[in-house]
Amino acid sequence: MYLTKDGSIVSDKDEILFFSIENFIENIWLGNDCFICGAKEWSKEFNDEHILPKWLLKKYNLFHSNITLPNLKTYRYDQYKIPCCVDCNKLLKTTYEDPISYAFSKDKKHLKEFIKTNVKLIFNWLILIHLKTFLWDKKFKYDFKKDQKIGDYYDWEILHHLHCIARTCYTNIPIDSNVFWSFLILPALQWKDISNFDFLNIYLGCTVLIRLGDIAIIIVGNDSSITLNSHLDLIKKISSPLNPVQLRELATRFAYTNIMLKERPNYYTHKNAFSNQMEIKAKVPEYYEIEEGDPLIFGKMFYHYIQDIFKETRKTKKISEIISHIKKGKYSYLINEKREFIKNK
């Protein structure tokens, strides 16, 4: 194991165990190297990696459907890929896609048991998807009339750390228990004429929502479970499956809370001087504080993430009034004025 000039760490087998931020920016973010092993395009065979795996696209008939990007433009799922070599593509398939797709092909009892015993696997899988969306965004313009890319707004340190987590299937670097973040599994309610699949990726709050049939998972990627702990009172009130809008509201609440943390956990890759082994670690504040939020900011954020399904499902004369209340942060699909959970009928 040795240290390169840019601060990367390479194994005796010439495998990059740790990308320095400089190396990550130059060769993964700005370049087209394999985002897992770092191989150059000319050095190995590439076949690229679907951001959402093919088994998922097939199961939910998404190959010719579109994902909505942060700039509200759409892009076809089957063309939604990033550079990846053949070897790493196979590694991701055997590590994540094969066991997870098999679990989702079985009955509910088997699936629940799989999720219960494979939380870290599912968490890392969603972090992987989370990272892949950002790596793809680097090339897509936020505003087609300008030269600004969606990725121009992203923070290197957050992306670099997500990259370290996503590569652990390749590096085999252990992750300290303090690193694992908010992870919530919920029953989901199906709505007529709305896809039984949903995927929401909130960059600013490092939050992912994925709905697969009647199961939804929400994770927060850089909070060491602080966001989950701060919402326990709300979560305990949930007594029935959440509909698509409720799930997106909860994900937005998680993201906004994460944004408002006064002191954040600090993540880093550490090499133990005694064992000579590497580990991904976290320095977590002893106490956490959350800034007082602005209802207007939350409201606009909430509406941004529900407007596509909102317009399809809310056919009412009062739609303008409801939208106005949502944008002002005065409307909730989860909690009523008495702070009671709003059950679905």
Distance from C-alpha of 259 to C-alpha of 293, rounded to nearest angstrom: 10
Is residue 143 domain-resident?
A: yes
pLDDT, residue 139, reads 59
> Domain range holding 112?
1-172
Of the chain, the percentage scoring pLDDT greater than 90 comes to 39
Encode pLDDT of 255-285 as tens digits.
Answer: 999 999 999 899 888 877 666 788 999 999 8
User: What 8-state DSSP symbol labels residue 178?
Assistant: G
Q: φ and ψ at 140, to 5 degrees?
A: -105, 130
Q: What is the dihedral of CA 320, 323, 329, 334, to 10 degrees?
A: 120
Give the residue among 267, 286, 270, 289 at the shortest CA–CA distance from 278. 270
Distances (CA, A) of 313 to 62, 213, 243, 306, 308: 20, 18, 11, 11, 9
pLDDT, residue 184, reads 93
Is residue 218 domain-resident?
A: no
Encode pLDDT of 161-174 as tens digits.
Answer: 889 999 999 999 99
| 18-22, 154-158, 233-237, 246-250, range with the lowest pLDDT | 154-158
Give the residue among 2, 21, 5 at the shortest CA–CA distance from 267. 21
Is residue 219 domain-resident?
A: no
Encode pLDDT of 64-101 as tens digits.
Answer: 776 766 666 667 777 778 889 999 999 999 999 999 99
Residue of 26 and 157 predicted with greater confidence: 26
Is residue 5 domain-resident?
A: yes
Structurally, the chain folds into a number of domains equal to: 1
Distance from C-alpha of 238 to C-alpha of 230, rounded to nearest angstrom: 15
pLDDT, residue 183, reads 93
Distance from C-alpha of 243 to C-alpha of 333, rounded to nearest angstrom: 9
Is residue 238 domain-resident?
A: no
Q: Let me know: does 49 contact 89? Beta carbons within 8 Å.
A: yes
Q: Let me know: does 194 contact 308? Beta carbons within 8 Å.
A: no
pLDDT, residue 151, reads 47
pLDDT, residue 144, reads 44
Encode pLDDT of 239-249 as tens digits.
Answer: 999 999 999 99
Encode pLDDT of 37-46 as tens digits.
Answer: 999 988 999 9
Return the CA Rg of the chain. Answer: 20
pLDDT, residue 82, reads 82
Is residue 157 domain-resident?
A: yes
- Alpha helix stretches (DSSP H) within the chain: 21-23, 54-59, 86-92, 98-103, 108-117, 119-137, 156-166, 168-171, 226-230, 232-237, 244-259, 295-313, 319-327
Is residue 296 domain-resident?
A: no
Is residue 265 domain-resident?
A: no
Hey, what amino acid is at 8? S
Residue 114: CA atoms inside 13 Å, Cβ hemisphere, count?
18
Tokens of 97: 């896609």
pLDDT, residue 273, reads 66
Hey, what amino acid is at 329? G
Which of 41-45, 51-55, 215-219 ranks highest by mean pLDDT? 215-219
Secondary structure in 3-state letters for 258-276:
HHCECCCCEEEEEECCCCC
Give the residue among 85, 81, 83, 119 at the shortest CA–CA distance from 100. 119
Encode pLDDT of 115-145 as tens digits.
Answer: 889 999 999 999 999 888 888 776 554 454 5
- In the predicted model, what is the mean pLDDT of the chain? 85
Model confidence at 147, in pLDDT bands (50, 70, 90)?
low
Q: Let me know: does 150 contact 137? Beta carbons within 8 Å.
A: yes
